[in-house]
Structure 1
């Protein structure tokens, strides 16, 4: 569907890197959203990730994803925070037992050297009911149909539209 897919999936319950690094990400999720959320890095033309103190802010859209041109994510001990955000911008912290941290994957396509794609992404799953340590630690993985559709939308928006403007 989308060219060469380089998928490197790792379970990230706690990924410990060198020098005691921490991920320090804040995920702002539309109030009431349930399902997978994605953060795509190294997306040409997307804004740089914003920071709040030591934390990078990922403002998840109503389709469940965030894109940034920041080249790569942080690696290390997962210290992420998840919040629901209402229409007025008010945050409600999401119970840690309602978030299952996923993994890392990548997508690369260099068939057009002037519009090379080299995206890195991570995901998590958020639920509202059935929150438990069992949910957090289960390794059911991602539903590829969902991730392929969202990746396709990101590529269409940030890369295919660029090709149309150049022609």
Structure 2
């Protein structure tokens, strides 16, 4: 009789623990699987620009947010370094929601493709190098997105690829844009 009672108690304890575990996992699953979706994005790159491009985020004195419809617009200046007040556009995004354009002096846009395995070596394309912190830039580590633009030979030419620190220094980017980023 004692054995039977112990078995019943063990069964209920095991059942209760399994039910508790399943409930806990079920409650946490949506938090683990929810992925933030990024806003559609348009990158406007100066016509003929070759080399590293940087977008520096969360700079109080940077360019104010720009939108076309529901798409963020990053209008890269001729220096190749855009300093913006916007937060980074982190999260998942479908490739058709990202557009790169070469922009002429009179504002005409010509699409530029993103680098893929099938991109011919002689085709001007954009390589997305990443999002992260770099620096120091005027004493701060800055959150930035880095791209490389050009034909394959230009995209791998270390003589024209600049770090953000080098780009800011060589292109004389105004220190005032970075005030308040630290």
The TM-score with structure 2 as length reference comes to: 0.58
Aligned counterparts of 1:108 and 1:35: Cα–Cα separation in 2: 18
Aligned counterparts of 1:74 and 1:154: Cα–Cα separation in 2: 25
Mapped pair 1:34 → 2:57: no
Quote how far apart the aligned CAs of 1:36 are. 1.2
Paired position in structure 1 for 2:41: 25
Aligned counterparts of 2:162 and 2:90: Cα–Cα separation in 1: 26
Mapped pair 1:158 → 2:181: no
Q: 1:75 aligns with which of 86, 91, 98?
A: 91
Q: Count matched residues.
A: 133
Larger RCO, structure (CA 8 Å, separation 6 or more):
1
Post-superposition Cα deviations, 1:46-99, rounded to whole Å, max 9, x if no partner, equal 132201122111111111121111233333235421101011101000123311
Q: 1:60 aligns with which of 66, 76, 84?
A: 76
The structure with the larger Rg is 2
Root-mean-square deviation (Å): 3.6
Residues 134 and 142, structure 2, Cα contact 8 Å, conserved in 1: yes
Q: 1:149 aligns with which of 166, 177, 182?
A: 166
Mapped pair 1:122 → 2:145: yes
C-alpha spacing 1:149/1:23, structure 2 compared with 1 (3 Å) = farther
Q: Unaligned regions of 5+ residues in structure 2, if any?
A: 1-32, 116-124
Aligned counterparts of 2:104 and 2:130: Cα–Cα separation in 1: 27
C-alpha spacing 1:28/1:90, structure 2 compared with 1 (3 Å) = same
The TM-score with structure 1 as length reference comes to: 0.63
Instruction: Considering fraction of residues, name the structure with more helix.
Output: 2
Residues 52 and 161, structure 2, Cα contact 8 Å, conserved in 1: no
Residues 42 and 118, structure 1, Cα contact 8 Å, conserved in 2: no
C-alpha spacing 1:54/1:150, structure 2 compared with 1 (3 Å) = same
